[in-house]
Amino acid sequence: MRIGVLALQGAFIEHIRMLESLGAETFEIRNISDLKERPDGLILPGGESTVMSKLLQDLGLYEKLRSLILSGTPVMGTCAGLILLAKYVEGGRPSLATMDITAVRNAYGRQLGSFETYAPFADTGDIQMTFIRAPVITAPGKNVVVLAQVDGNIVAAREENQLVLSFHPELGKDPAVHRYFINMISGNA
């Protein structure tokens, strides 16, 4: 299993370490030549969604990534990655726009509004969730399955091959979310 991690900014190294601890092979995506071979999965990490969207265009990655996702390649978007995948963004412009969700950027406020909590995720029980200038999902489409909520806000969801999270699972020690994603790729989730 080969998983490509978008390595333009954000906590991509932490995603790589978590995936490799679970036995997955990873590679960094920095330019179009990194996508010569079709990956088994993709991760769009946190960072600044506006900057990431511009870099995807400038580096020629936008069309290729969008095409991979629309053709069924499993993708996990965390924080800014969630915003990149959202078809609708309140107060902003959609980017890849592949997942039928409405996202609200910085729903928990600025950096000072960052926090950590434990809450149930999918069928795995309570997991650590680290929120940093996190978005939330306000309107999931009819085929979107809500996987986690915190204080009534949707913070994790899935639509077919797409998994999005408001929080940063790569910053904790629990590999449950990355294991869930690996199971998505292998068809077991």
Which residues are part of the catalytic machinery?
79, 168, 170
Question: Amino acid identity of 170?
Answer: E
In the block, tokens 């991690």 appear at 5
User: Which tokens is 154 given?
Assistant: 């949707």
Q: Is 156 helix (H, G, I), strand (E, B) or coil?
A: strand
User: Which tokens is 72 given?
Assistant: 């069924």
Kindly tell me the sign of the dihedral angle through the C-alpha atoms of 10, 55, 154, 42: negative
Pairing, β 115-120 against β 136-140? unpaired
Continuous segment of H or E residues that includes residue 181? helix 176-186
Question: What is the rounded distance in angstroms from the CA atom of residue 184 to the CA atom of residue 176?
Answer: 12
Question: What is the rounded distance in angstroms from the CA atom of residue 27 to the CA atom of residue 18?
Answer: 13
What are the φ and ψ backbone dihedral angles of 135, each rounded to 5 degrees? Answer: -85, 170
Question: What is the rounded distance in angstroms from the CA atom of residue 115 to the CA atom of residue 185?
Answer: 30
